[in-house]
Amino acid sequence: MQRIIRQFPRIGAAAVLSFAVVATGARADGLSVGPVKDPTVAKECSACHMLYPAGLLPARSWSRLMNDLGDHFGDNAELDPETAEQIRAYLTANAADTQRRGTKLLRNLPSGTVPLRITELPYIAAKHAKRGRVAPATLKRRGAKSPADCKACHRGAEQGQFDDD
């Protein structure tokens, strides 16, 4: 019992600390989802493009993308079945609709739609519609090949940090 009491201040401090973190996150204008932590996902999903954090799309989107790797935005990105299943499991388990932090991202997204691009999410589209944020001239100035290159402007994109807007 005495041991439990001695633990109390520490638990209390942790609770206050996590509350502070949550409160800060809620106030900030940006978005914070976790980075990809699985080495296979990190390797395979960043060979051709930036590494998109799993928390940027709902599970149904990742599932659809993993079903259609033969035509991945026009390119063949097929994987052997075992690796594909491993990646699908990770992406769907860490998708936007499995994270509390991801709910803001899915705001106004009709449940029947399966967005294949992060830029199709109404929340993201609305954010970028402001002040020509992804206008061709802006992309060119930032050295982005397309709006898919989040990290051209969001330096922490691959770490899941989008609080720099």
Partner 1 sequence: MKHLRRTLATLLVLAAGSTATLAGKSAAQQAIQDGYAAAARAADPAFKGFSAERGKAFFHAKHGGGKPETPSCTTCHTSDPTAAGKSRAGKTIAPMAASRSPERFSDQKQVEKWFRRNCSDVLGRACTASEKGDVLAYLLSL
* Site residues (vs partner 1, CB under 8 A): 46-50, 70, 74-80, 144-146, 148-149
Q: Where are the alpha helices (DSSP H) in 104-162?
A: 122-129, 136-142
Q: Are 123 and 72 a contacting pair, CB within 8 Å?
A: no
Nearest approach, Cβ of residue 12 and partner 1 (Å):
47
Nearest approach, Cβ of residue 97 and partner 1 (Å):
25
Contacts of 46 (CB under 8 A, 6+ apart): 158
User: What is the spatial distance between Cα 57 and Cα 59, in angstroms, rounded to a whole number?
Assistant: 7
Q: How far is CA 40 from CA 56, 75, 113, 123, in A?
A: 18, 20, 28, 29
Contacts of 128 (CB under 8 A, 6+ apart): 119, 134, 147
Nearest approach, Cβ of residue 147 and partner 1 (Å):
12
Nearer to partner 1, 75 or 163 (CB): 75
Nearer to partner 1, 133 or 151 (CB): 151
Nearer to partner 1, 24 or 46 (CB): 46
Nearer to partner 1, 47 or 137 (CB): 47
Strands 161-162 and 31-32: antiparallel
Nearest approach, Cβ of residue 26 and partner 1 (Å):
33
- CA gyration radius for the chain? 19
Nearer to partner 1, 15 or 48 (CB): 48
Nearest approach, Cβ of residue 10 and partner 1 (Å):
43
